[in-house]
Chains A and B, each alone.
Chain A
């Protein structure tokens, strides 16, 4: 079993839709949670970064972490064609392991006009 499970999709939505992306993880030691966006042939770009459980909002993006169920989510409101990309969740245990991220497989999202 992978440490982080993420539905690879692909996910196709119309412009303006609310997108929900999810990951589950197995190790309760993880305490830092991130979402990255990766466009084709580019490096991952950090979207959201949260520590421990709770919600964090940044513009059209909301990240949720539920450590009790080991479940993390990213919501995109008013999705745009420019949001079409692969979305990667990543987790980290912190401390001396901070530089080691464990990623989900990535969800391919297409937002069509």
Chain B
């Protein structure tokens, strides 16, 4: 069974640009969450989608957005990139409450 797949794995962007990251959850998983990981702040929750609806949102500015498609695949977008957005962005999926949450390998974003 394939795990959570994230693309691209590595990317470099310039300040002011925007970026879109993609996540394919484990087959059958309808819940997809996104996290940002930095050395200073650790792993922080961005948002979660379930059946194409955003259920929870973390404390991040509106430049961070996401969406989920009918096949449960998800994308997150960061607009007007800042140097501080350099981080590992992780996607996680689950079948729902009470069930285990699995992470992908992440997308490494460097903003220069």
Residues of A at the B interface (CB closer than 8 Å) are 32, 34, 36, 41-46, 49, 51, 88, 90, 92, 94-106
Q: Does B97 contact A103, Cβ atoms closer than 8 Å?
A: no
Given the known inter-chain contacts A43-B106, A44-B90, A49-B100, please indicate yes or no for A98 contacting B43, CB distance below 8 A. no
Could you tell me which residues of chain B, from 73 to 87, have a CB within 8 Å of some CB in chain A?
Answer: none
Q: Does B102 contact A99, Cβ atoms closer than 8 Å?
A: no
Q: Does A95 contact B97, Cβ atoms closer than 8 Å?
A: yes
Which chain A residue shows the least CB distance to B99?
A: A98
- Other than the given A43-B106, A101-B33, 12 more pairs (CB < 8 A) read A34-B100, A43-B4, A43-B90, A45-B103, A46-B101, A46-B103, A90-B43, A94-B97, A98-B94, A99-B32, A103-B44, A106-B43
Q: Does A106 contact B103, Cβ atoms closer than 8 Å?
A: no
Q: Does A46 contact B102, Cβ atoms closer than 8 Å?
A: yes
Please indicate the chain B residues that have their CB under 8 angstroms from the CB of A45 in the complex. Answer: 103
Q: Does B50 contact A99, Cβ atoms closer than 8 Å?
A: yes
Given the known inter-chain contacts A43-B90, A43-B104, A43-B105, please indicate yes or no for A98 contacting B31, CB distance below 8 A. yes
| Closest-CB distance, B6 to chain A (whole angstroms) | 8
Please indicate the chain A residues that have their CB under 8 angstroms from the CB of B32 in the complex. Answer: 99
Q: Does B103 contact A98, Cβ atoms closer than 8 Å?
A: no
Q: Does A88 contact B104, Cβ atoms closer than 8 Å?
A: no
Please indicate the chain A residues that have their CB under 8 angstroms from the CB of B62 in the complex. Answer: none
Q: Does B55 contact A96, Cβ atoms closer than 8 Å?
A: yes
Q: List 26 A-B contacts (CB under 8 A).
A: A32-B98, A34-B100, A42-B105, A42-B106, A43-B4, A43-B104, A44-B90, A45-B103, A46-B102, A51-B98, A88-B43, A90-B43, A94-B97, A96-B97, A97-B56, A98-B31, A98-B94, A99-B31, A99-B33, A99-B49, A99-B50, A99-B92, A103-B42, A104-B42, A105-B42, A106-B42
Which of A41, A45, A99, A103 has the most chain B CB atoms inside 10 A of its CB? A99
Which chain A residue shows the least CB distance to B90?
A: A43
Q: Does A98 contact B97, Cβ atoms closer than 8 Å?
A: yes
Q: Does A44 contact B56, Cβ atoms closer than 8 Å?
A: no
| Closest-CB distance, A25 to chain B (whole angstroms) | 14
